[in-house]
Structure 1
Amino acid sequence: MTPPTLTIGEDNLTERQRAVLDAALGLLVDGGDGLTMTGVARRASCSKETLYKWFGDRDGLLTATVQWQAAKVRMVPVDRETLTAKSLAIALEKFGRDLLSVLAGDISVALNRLAVSHAGQEKRNLGAIVLENGRYAMGRRLKPVLQAGRDAGLLSFEDCETAFRTFFGLVVRDVQIRLLLGDRMELDEQTIAADARRAREQFFALYGA
């Protein structure tokens, strides 16, 4: 697989590049395995040469597309020198809200369903791409904040990966699997905010120093 030459993130992409990745997400939702460079070029009204220049190949485009979706879960920056329980709580709640909002969206549900269908199949890389740039990327994004909380004496845990998995589980609970199985859950902004707040409170009850 040729890796994408772009750094994927809201602040690193042009409006045109964001439109192309949104078109690719739309095709994944609509057609699943039917995503091709030709199809994306047609929907986004751009040339295949541009796609190959930006993404390398189809797997590179898939990787960038998943990264673009995952980039919607943003981490509130924290200052390690002045970190307080309040600023840490704000950062964790914001992460939790973004995570639930993204996972509950039609795009993520369709993408994860397709990734599950690819898991373990030869020559089908979407499952590994979603795992690496979804779940694992979330860990790489949040664990430095948890470590900063521990260094500041606000959190107490031995293993950062375990602490991350606990927080992830408190936020997501059974929401993702229910959505993947077709449960029509009512997850409006107010509900998501309340769930993120509850997850933060429970996490501090478990790991607060």
Structure 2
Amino acid sequence: MPPNSAAQQDTASEAPSLRQQAVLDAVLALMVEEGDQLTMDAVARRASCSKESLYKWFGDRDGLLTATVQWQASRVHAGRYAVQPLDVATLRESLRDFAATWLEVIASSTSVALNRIAIGHAASGKSNLGGIVLANGRFAIGERVKPVLEAGRAAGILDFEDGETAFRTFFGLVGRDIQIRLLLGDRLDLDTAEIRRDAGRAVDQFLALYGRD
């Protein structure tokens, strides 16, 4: 029997162990290889662990998917700044770091596979994977980046009225049409240097819109 939701909630609130990380990487690999045909049995075989361990760590299939999305989203660096008060150079580097790591994540084969499955499930009502991806991906990342923008405003570097609107503008400048093109099968060849250039360009455009003189 799967454990209760309290165990699932505890797993979601803690960083996964190295063994759990290996399981989550196995889930992502299976999504790339097999698409929608993901079962607890298949995950247990790929990760060389028991189904009982999966239920103990993640609660149930939705708990496993939630942890997988959180693990993938954790690769995006958001809000990493330590200098107080915040200065322009530190803000610029923090935003560039977020933009580059987010582009790297969404351009990966694992994210493309995960998002394609989530879109299909959202359309068919097969599962709540679409909601899981939104809550633990886009929305969670937004809540981690918006405090950085608010800190920039408090430091007199940025000027905007609404943090959510400012974040959505920045998010759009970074992502442009890249994610939809990847989801539709466009084989974009984004190497590290190009991603860094795109990230820097997006930050420059955002600061041109919202930066104080």
Interval containing the TM-score (normalised by the shorter chain): over 0.9
Greater shift in the superposed pair: 58-67 or 123-132? 123-132
Equivalent position of 1:6 in the other structure: 11
* Cα distance in structure 2, aligned partners of 1:146 and 1:80: 14
Counterpart code for 2:127:
R
* Cα distance in structure 1, aligned partners of 2:84 and 2:189: 40
Counterpart code for 2:181:
R
Note if 1:104 corresponds to 2:111: no
Q: Sort the Cα spacing of 1:22 and 1:8 in 2 relative to 1 into closer, same or farther, 3 A.
A: farther
Counterpart code for 1:130:
V
Deviation at 1:120, TM superposition (A): 4.0
Q: Sort the Cα spacing of 1:160 and 1:196 in 2 relative to 1 into closer, same or farther, 3 A.
A: same
The percent identity for this pair of structures is 59
- Correspondence list, 1:84-99, <5 A: 84-99=87-102
Equivalent position of 2:20 in the other structure: 17
Note if 1:157 corresponds to 2:160: yes
Aligned residues: 207
Equivalent position of 1:134 in the other structure: 137
Q: Which runs of 5+ in 2 are unaligned?
A: none
* Cα distance in structure 1, aligned partners of 2:140 and 2:11: 17
Q: Sort the Cα spacing of 1:94 and 1:8 in 2 relative to 1 into closer, same or farther, 3 A.
A: farther
SS in 1 for 2:36: helix
Hey, which bits of structure 1, 4+ residues long, moved more than 4 A?
Answer: none
Counterpart code for 1:129:
I
SS in 1 for 2:84: coil
SS in 2 for 1:16: helix
Equivalent position of 1:69 in the other structure: 72
Deviation at 1:190, TM superposition (A): 0.5
Deviation at 1:208, TM superposition (A): 0.1
Deviation at 1:74, TM superposition (A): 1.5
Equivalent position of 1:184 in the other structure: 187
Length-normalised TM-score, structure 2: 0.92
Counterpart code for 2:131:
A
Q: Which runs of 5+ in 1 are unaligned?
A: none
User: Does the 8 Å CA contact 1:5/1:56 hold for their aligned counterparts?
Assistant: no
* Cα distance in structure 1, aligned partners of 2:124 and 2:98: 32
* Cα distance in structure 2, aligned partners of 1:169 and 1:84: 24
Q: Sort the Cα spacing of 1:208 and 1:101 in 2 relative to 1 into closer, same or farther, 3 A.
A: same
